[in-house]
Structure formats: C-alpha cells, structure tokens
C-alpha cells in the first residue's frame, strides 16, 4: 500500500490511491467485505455470507478461518430454522479487543474505554477551567488515557486504537492538534507522542467532525449519506457528510462555519469580524442575550458552559425570559442552518454539541426558520433532529477506531 504524494491527480479516487495490487489484496478486500456483512447483517453462517457476497463457500471458509484465528470473528450458535444441515452462525467478536475514545472540549474532557462490541468498560470525565495551562491539561488527559490502556491490558484485550476529538483545527493525516483558537495548543504532535508512549494507533479528529461521524454510524439512520451535524457550544462548527464522505478540506476546516457572516451590524467577534454566526448563538451569545433579557446566571465562572443544565431546567419550568432567549437563538440557528441545507443538500441535519440539548425545547423555531429560507425542493427530504445523546463526539471516536478494524483487520501471516 503506497500513499501517493505526486499530483496523480486527475482521477478523483481520493487521497491515497493504491498503485499496485496482488493476490494478497484480493484476500484483504474480500475479508473486509465479509466483516462488513457480519457488521450490517447480524450473525450469519459461512454459506449465507457466501451467497450474499457472490463468493463461493470455500472462499468464505478460508477467509473466516483467518478471522477466527485472530479472533475478530467468533462462532456463536447453530441456525435453527429451515431444512438441511444447520449453519454455524458467525459474528464479530465483541471481546476481541478494546477501543479508547477521548473528548477534549473547552470546559471538560472525557475518556471512554469500550470493547470492540462497543460496550462501555470504563469511563471518566473531568472539568477544565478556561485558560488552564496547556501542559497541565495535557498531563491530566494523558493520565486518564494511561489508566484506560492499563485497564485494557489487565483484561487481556488488544487495544485497537485511541481516537481524540478536539475542539480545534486538526491535521488529521499528521495526527496533530494544529491550531486551537481558545485552548492555546498549537502543532501538538499527538499521534507521534502517544503512539510511541502507548504503542497503539492514535487518531485525531476535529470535534464537529467527530460528532458527525458518531451520528453517521450510531444515529437514527446509520450510514446516512448526506448529513450536516452542527456542534453548538462555546464554538460553532459543522461536520458534513456528502455522498457518504466526510468533508475535511485543505486544512481540515471544511464546514467550520461559526465565523460566517450572519448579521450586518452584529457584535464584534473574537475573530475580529462583526456579526459572526457564533457570536449570536454560541455560548457567549446566549449569555449575552440572557443578561440583556434581565436573567442573571448564578455562580457563573468565566465563559464556561456550566449553566447549560440550569438554563434547560429554567426553560422547562417555563421561565419566560429564558424561553424568549432560547427561541430567538433557535430562529437564528435555523436561519444559519438554512444556508448549510442550500449548500450541502443533506437529507438530515442534526443539532448537537454541549448546547445542543437546550435546543430540544425550540425545535419548532429551528424548523420554521430553515423552512422559510430554503427552496422547497431542497427540504423535501430533510429531517431536522436535536441530538438527545450528548455523546456524539465520543461515539464518533469509537466509530473511527472501529472502522479502522473493519477496513484493515489483522490477518494471519502479516
């Protein structure tokens, strides 16, 4: 497998194009297809897999022999129904290894350890003060990750990877935290450091991109090919799938739409411009609006977002000031989202992120704003969803590691 650097160019077969193929690649490609069948179509016998893929049973048997040996796949039980010899059902082995997800946000970080079956084995989270020293933050994160790695080892699980979702600009290929407008981190070569420290593959994703991956895999329509995920928090970013592909862009900044122009004479934004979308509906915008409406946030420290739960409760209790503010934010969220709908033509738009939950209360406002600003034929197939989980970033990390196993399973003899 060679990653091609030259201007190969003119073919749009994406980034790394294999140049040279031999028999081993057939095996690998077919093994991937087998795993995908098992993943999407539940437990299956060798014969069922063969029939669905168009391979012979002999071939599938051989591939499965490999996969059993590395215990990525396990035999479960006999198929009962039907005449003839019952098939021995196979499934992905949930306990063939572990995966670690890390979410480093602006006001907290979380670490999750799961098995390959995505059952949570351990998790922990910890708050972060704004303006905390980058080195100290990193030290705390590393400590938790180390704990997860040790737990995995104690259970004799092979750790298939660590994926970090980070609220900043990410150079995914190099595995670097490239630029953090608020965290103070710049060019942190996380992949290199952690891989040499933990001896495990490390992946880095932008926060909103991770959220999109999470919804793409574990959301209400797994595998949805055209999806806009809005991550609403201190910052505002979007992760976008078009035609089943996640957009990253030249610098990994595709879909990072928080600083698009939204209001003609709006508040000046930290980025230097006036009237950015994020200054209206991001955390600081909501705070400003609450204050202007005469609602004081008790015990507020810095520009953290500890007050989300409080606001949510107040709104549910019917506090008119809070409701008024949330409704306005909902409309503005929808108006901005309309642009994204027009631009990306998705079939689903998901509101997530730290503040996403609060938007559940104003979904009508969001939807009507989108409707009024969009061409009818664009929204005909559109679903608007406020993510209930709040775990999209973490789930995206899990999905990233899981995908790496599916796409590049360990095979014998390599």
Partner DNA sequence: CCTATATGTTTAATAACTAAACAAACTATT
Partner DNA sequence: AATAGTTTGTTTAGTTATTAAACATATAGG
Of 344-363, which residues contact a copy of itself (CB under 8 A)? Answer: 344-347
Cβ-based nearer residue to DNA, 61 or 118: 61
- 10 is an interface residue for DNA by CB under 7 A: no
199 burial (CB, 10 Å; 0-12 / 13-18 / 19+) is exposed
Select from a copy of itself, DNA, none the partner in contact with residue 414, using the beta carbon and a kind-dependent cut-off of 5 to 8 Å.
Answer: none
Site for DNA in 12-31 (CB under 7 A): 20-24, 26-27, 30
Among 260, 303, 319, 363, binds a copy of itself (CB under 8 A): 260
Q: Which of residues 65-124 bind DNA (CB under 7 A)?
A: 78, 82-88
Query: Are the beta carbons of 295 and 321 closer than 8 angstroms?
Result: yes
Using CB under 7 A, which of 17, 52, 61, 323 touches DNA?
61
Q: How far is the CB of 69 from DNA (least distance, A)?
A: 12
Task: Give the span between the Cα atoms of 245 and 241, in whole angstroms.
Answer: 5
What's the min distance (Å) between Cβ of 241 and a copy of itself?
8
Per CB under 8 A, does 265 bind a copy of itself? no
Question: Restricting to residues 117-136, which ones interact with a copy of itself according to CB under 8 A?
Answer: none
Helix, strand or coil, per DSSP, at residue 101: strand
Residues 6 or more apart whose Cβ sits within 8 Å of residue 41: 52
- Contact with a copy of itself (CB under 8 A): which of 71, 74, 303, 342? 342
Q: Within 148-177, which residues bind DNA (CB under 7 A)?
A: none
Task: Give alpha helix (H) positions in 9-116.
Answer: 23-40, 46-53, 57-69
Region for residue 71 given its phi and psi (left: phi exceeds 0; alpha: psi -120 to 50; beta: otherwise): left
**Per-residue tokens: 83:** 């005449």
Work out whether 389 is an interface residue with a copy of itself (CB under 8 A): no
**Which residues, 6 or more positions from 133, have their beta carbon under 8 angstroms from its beta carbon?**
184
DSSP 81: S
CA distance 374 to 338: 6
Return the SS3 of 391.
Answer: coil
Residue indicated by tokens 């989202």? 337
Region 31-50 residues binding a copy of itself, contact defined as CB under 8 A:
32-33, 36, 39-40
Give the one residue of 8, 58, 120, 245 binding DNA; rule: CB under 7 A: 58
Please choose which of DNA, a copy of itself, none residue 18 contacts, taking the beta carbon within 5 to 8 angstroms, the exact cut-off set by kind.
Answer: a copy of itself
Least Å distance, CB 292 to a copy of itself, is: 22
**54 is an interface residue for DNA by CB under 7 A:** yes
């Amino acid at each position: 497998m060679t990653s091609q650097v030259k201007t190969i160019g003119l073919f749009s077969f994406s980034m790394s194009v294999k140049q040279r193929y031999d028999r081993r690649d057939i095996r690998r490609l077919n093994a991937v297809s087998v795993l995908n069948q098992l993943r999407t179509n539940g437990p299956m016998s060798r014969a069922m897999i063969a029939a669905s893929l168009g391979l012979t049973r002999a071939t599938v048997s051989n591939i499965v022999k490999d996969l059993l040996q590395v215990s990525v796949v396990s035999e479960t039980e006999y198929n009962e129904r039907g005449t003839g010899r019952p098939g021995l059902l196979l499934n992905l082995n949930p306990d063939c290894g572990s995966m670690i997800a890390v979410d480093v946000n602006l006001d907290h970080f979380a670490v999750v350890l799961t098995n390959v079956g995505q059952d949570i084995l351990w998790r922990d989270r910890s708050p972060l003060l704004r303006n905390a020293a980058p080195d100290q933050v990193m030290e705390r994160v590393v400590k938790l990750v180390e704990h997860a790695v040790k737990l995995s080892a104690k259970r004799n699980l092979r750790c298939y990877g660590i994926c970090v979702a980070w609220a900043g600009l990410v150079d995914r290929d190099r595995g670097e935290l490239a630029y953090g407008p608020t965290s103070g981190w710049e060019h942190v070569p996380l992949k290199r450091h952690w891989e040499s420290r933990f001896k495990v593959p490390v992946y880095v994703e932008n926060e909103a991109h991770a959220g999109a991956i999470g919804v793409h895999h574990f959301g209400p329509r797994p595998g949805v090919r055209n999806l806009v995920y809005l991550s609403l928090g201190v910052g505002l970013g979007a992760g976008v799938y078009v035609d089943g592909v996640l957009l990253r862009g030249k610098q990994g900044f595709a879909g990072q739409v928080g600083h698009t122009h939204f209001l003609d004479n709006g508040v000046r934004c930290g980025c230097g411009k006036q009237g950015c979308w994020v200054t209206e509906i991001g955390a600081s915008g909501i705070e400003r609006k609450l204050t202007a409406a005469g609602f004081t946030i008790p015990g507020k420290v810095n520009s953290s977002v500890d007050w989300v739960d409080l606001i949510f409760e107040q709104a549910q209790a019917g506090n008119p000031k809070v409701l008024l503010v949330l409704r306005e934010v909902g409309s503005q969220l929808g108006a901005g989202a309309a642009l994204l709908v027009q631009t990306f033509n998705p079939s689903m738009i998901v509101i997530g992120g730290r503040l996403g939950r609060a938007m559940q209360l104003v979904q009508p406002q969001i939807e009507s704003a989108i409707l009024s600003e969009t061409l009818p034929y664009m929204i005909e197939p559109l679903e608007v969803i406020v993510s209930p989980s709040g775990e999209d970033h973490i789930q995206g990390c899990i999905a990233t590691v899981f995908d790496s196993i599916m796409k590049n399973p360990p095979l014998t003899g390599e």
